């Protein structure tokens, strides 16, 4: 054992390096020392880092004024195994020798601080102060205050990692070399693109089983696989629907344990590159198609290093979404923006869901020639009008009769889904139409707004809420509905509404009457349409129109349009049939992928 070698571990116990110092072995208490922190690397197994090193002990860099429980537990283990333990406060240039007695003292301190914090929350700070003074944690009342040197700011490895990742992303941006993808004709099931296609989605923090983005991923992968000789989807989380659709997938879990913190997003690319580089080097993909996620530039790096054509799917700014609906931003926003720019620069093509998203990218300096605006879609086989028998069976199990008019809403009940308008409209619609019923599919952070209105008006007998269900079950349940609502609103703090709601195209494919907000792409895809001003006319004919469009957030118009369709079944059915035709002709996932391939046939 080298008595001058120690393992230096940061305060989060996730980074370590080898420290050589001849002075530490002679220390017995707290000492001043200019200790140079070594270069740190990610820890896969904390116990093995020390146990297999043969070092004389460990030095723990402190992130706070006192150690956390995990540090104390680890310290006690090292001491038990005969190793030395030191705590290091870099800005104070101080180290403290730690033994079992000191570990116990720190445990008591943590307990007292926790009690004090809880008492402060409860408003009993005087009692907390008495306890702390009795334990001699605080000085007696009136005693002179002894000022000590400011507690050191911690050495934060995440900040270092973010800086390194930012430099790496900048390097990719500055040295980007998009790889051409040669497509002479649009690939089809009978004339597939040669080689292996790769789909990537690496948002390891989003374990979902249904919803718009879930369906988007699965059905896009299905259509890509149908037009490519061989195909593999590399996923951060396994998607059951991919298996059901016959798409080969490989789960690539995030190597460290995810703690629900931004540091994991900062460090994710390094983790994924190590795993995916050998896999892609072996496959030599004809292309990578990636649903890009926050802070990850894995595909951009591998595309550049391995000369692989790279198609980026960008569904809009998650940073703008967080600012709009959480009221604050991300800690590492600057890095996330650089990761996006690295991907955009290296991309052979960028697929975006709407014109506002394209305008945003062009404003950030991206060449408009490489951007394809490609609205979302629906699988028009999966989402289709029911047979009479199918409709009857689904309704019976939900408690609906054939005579009733069922109004459907599906979604994740998110910030811009118009949940507030939906909640206000439900009691008004049901009150005006005794045979009207509602079917709500999905769940989310704003679902309680609807639930509270339903409870307030005693409508549980007229509103069926099935919660979040698997994707295919959601498609099946939609077949119980006559009318569909899409009351989206504009709530974006610093951008236009840039969404392309998959529910809209699923509604169209099922063929029911639709009432929707005339908002950006929603209005464009449903035009030609009826407006509320048309509803006062006599003998209204649907013609080639696809829906009724209302002003976003206007509950009166939403209720009026819904009531009209409840009482005008023939117009409702005609609008639905027209919408179904438009979905098949323009807005299926098959058409979506055809447009992607067509963008390379120039």
Task: Give me the residue spans of the domains in the chain.
Answer: 5-105, 168-350, 388-586
pLDDT higher than 60, residue 183:
yes
Contact 276, 302 (CB under 8 A): yes
Percent of the chain with pLDDT over 90: 58
Give the rounded distance of the alpha carbon of 240 from its chain centre: 18
Rounded Cα distance between 170 and 331, Å, is 19
Question: d(Cα 319, Cα 333) in Å, to the nearest integer?
Answer: 7
* Alpha helices, DSSP H, located in 249-292: 262-283
Of 90, 84, 106, 70, residue with least CA distance to 26: 84
Determine the average pLDDT of the residues in 314-330. Answer: 79
Give CA–CA dist 337/332, Å, rounded. Answer: 9
Angle between helices 555-567 and 569-586 (to 10 degrees): 110
Residue 311 main-chain phi, psi, to 5 deg: -105, 120
Provide the pLDDT for residue 497.
Answer: 72
* The pLDDT of residue 150 is above 80: no
Band the pLDDT of 66: cuts 50, 70, 90. Answer: low
Kindly report the CATH number that applies to the domain delimited by 168-350: 3.40.50
Environment class of residue 361 by beta-carbon count within 10 Å: exposed (0-12), middle (13-18) or buried (19+)?
A: buried
pLDDT score for 64: 61
Mean pLDDT along residues 182-208 = 93
Q: What pLDDT, in 10s, does the model give residues 332-376?
A: 899 999 999 999 999 999 999 999 999 999 999 999 999 999 999
Q: Write out the two tokens for 422.
A: 């939906």
Say how many residues make up the chain.
602
**Best CATH choice for the domain 388-586 from the list 3.40.190.10, 3.30.499.10, 3.40.50.1370, 3.40.50.2000:** 3.40.50.2000
Measured CA to CA, the distance from residue 168 to residue 244 in angstroms comes to 38
Tokens standing for 226? 């149908």
Average pLDDT rounded to a whole number, residues 453-465: 92
421, 487 in Cβ contact below 8 A?
Answer: yes
Nearest partner of 551 among 543, 563, 559, 539, judged by Cα: 559
* DSSP one-letter string for 44-69: S-HHHHHHTT-BSEEEEE-SSSS--H
Give the predicted TM-score (pTM) of the model.
0.71
Q: Do domains 168-350 and 388-586 have the same CATH topology?
A: yes
Distances (CA, A) of 250 to 232, 233, 235, 267, 596: 7, 6, 6, 21, 24
pLDDT digits (tens, 9 = 90+) for 201-218: 999 988 898 888 999 999
* pLDDT for the residue 491: 57
Residue carrying the six token digits 């591998």? 302
- Tell me the pLDDT tens digit for each residue of 477-504: 999 999 999 998 765 445 577 778 899 9
Residue 436 to residues 130, 172, 328, 407, 562, Cα–Cα distance (Å): 64, 57, 40, 7, 10
60's CB contacts (< 8 A; 6+ apart) are 8, 9, 10, 11, 13, 67, 71, 74, 75, 85, 86, 87, 88
């Amino acid at each position: 054992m080298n008595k001058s070698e120690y393992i230096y571990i940061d305060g989060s116990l996730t980074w370590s390096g080898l420290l050589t110092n001849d002075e530490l072995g002679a220390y017995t208490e707290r000492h001043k020392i200019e200790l140079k922190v070594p270069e740190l690397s990610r820890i896969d197994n904390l116990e093995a880092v020390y146990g297999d090193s043969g070092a004389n002990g460990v030095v723990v860099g402190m992130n706070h004024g006192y150690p956390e429980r995990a540090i104390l537990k680890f310290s006690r283990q090292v001491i038990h195994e005969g190793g030395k333990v030191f705590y290091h406060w870099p800005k104070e240039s101080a180290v403290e020798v730690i033994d079992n007695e000191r570990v116990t003292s720190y445990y008591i301190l943590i307990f007292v601080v926790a009690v004090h914090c809880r008492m402060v929350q409860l408003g009993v700070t005087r009692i907390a102060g008495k306890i702390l003074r009795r334990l001699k944690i605080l000085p007696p009342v009136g005693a002179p205050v002894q000022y000590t040197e400011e507690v050191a700011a911690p050495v934060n490895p995440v900040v270092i990692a973010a800086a390194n990742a930012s430099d790496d992303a900048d390097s990719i941006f500055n040295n980007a070399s998009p790889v051409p993808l040669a497509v002479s004709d649009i690939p089809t099931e009978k004339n597939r693109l040669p080689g292996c296609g790769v789909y990537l989605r690496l948002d390891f923090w989003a374990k979902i089983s249904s919803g718009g983005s879930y369906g988007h991923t699965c059905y896009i992968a299905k259509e890509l696989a149908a037009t490519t000789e061989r195909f593999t989807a590399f996923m951060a989380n396994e998607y059951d629907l991919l298996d059901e659709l016959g798409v080969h997938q490989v789960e690539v879990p995030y190597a460290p344990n995810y703690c629900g913190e931004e540091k994991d997003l900062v460090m994710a690319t390094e983790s994924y590159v190590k795993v995916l580089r050998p896999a892609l080097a072996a496959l030599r993909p004809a292309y990578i198609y990636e649903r890009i996620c926050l802070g990850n530039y894995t595909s951009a790096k591998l595309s550049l290093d391995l000369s692989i054509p790279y198609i980026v799917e960008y569904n809009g700014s998650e940073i703008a979404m967080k600012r709009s609906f959480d009221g604050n931003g991300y800690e590492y926003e600057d890095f996330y923006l650089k990761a996006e720019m690295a991907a955009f620069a290296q991309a052979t093509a960028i697929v975006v869901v709407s014109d506002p998203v394209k305008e945003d990218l062009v404003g950030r300096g991206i060449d408009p020639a490489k951007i394809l605006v490609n609205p979302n879609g629906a699988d028009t086989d999966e989402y289709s009008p029911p047979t009479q028998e199918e409709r009857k069976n689904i309704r019976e199990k939900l408690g609906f009769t054939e005579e009733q008019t069922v109004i459907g809403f599906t979604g994740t009940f998110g910030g811009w889904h118009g949940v507030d308008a939906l909640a206000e409209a439900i009691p008004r619609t049901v009150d005006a139409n005794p045979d009207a019923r509602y079917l709500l599919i999905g769940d989310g952070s704003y679902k309680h707004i609807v639930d509270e209105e339903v409870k307030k008006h005693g409508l549980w007998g007229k509103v069926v809420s099935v919660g979040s269900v698997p994707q295919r079950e959601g498609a099946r349940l939609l077949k119980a509905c006559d009318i569909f609502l899409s009351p989206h609103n504009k709530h974006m703090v610093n951008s236009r509404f840039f969404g392309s709601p998959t529910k809209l195209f699923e509604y169209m494919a099922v063929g029911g009457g639709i009432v929707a907000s005339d908002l950006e792409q929603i209005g464009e895809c449903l035009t030609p349409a009826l407006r509320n001003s048309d509803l006062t006319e006599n003998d209204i004919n649907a013609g080639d129109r696809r829906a009724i469009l209302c002003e976003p957030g206007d509950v009166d118009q939403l209720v009026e349009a819904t009531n009209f369709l409840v009482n005008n079944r023939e117009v409702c059915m005609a609008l639905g049939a027209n919408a179904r035709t438009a979905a098949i002709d323009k807005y299926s996932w098959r058409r979506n992928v055809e447009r992607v391939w067509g963008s390379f046939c120039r």
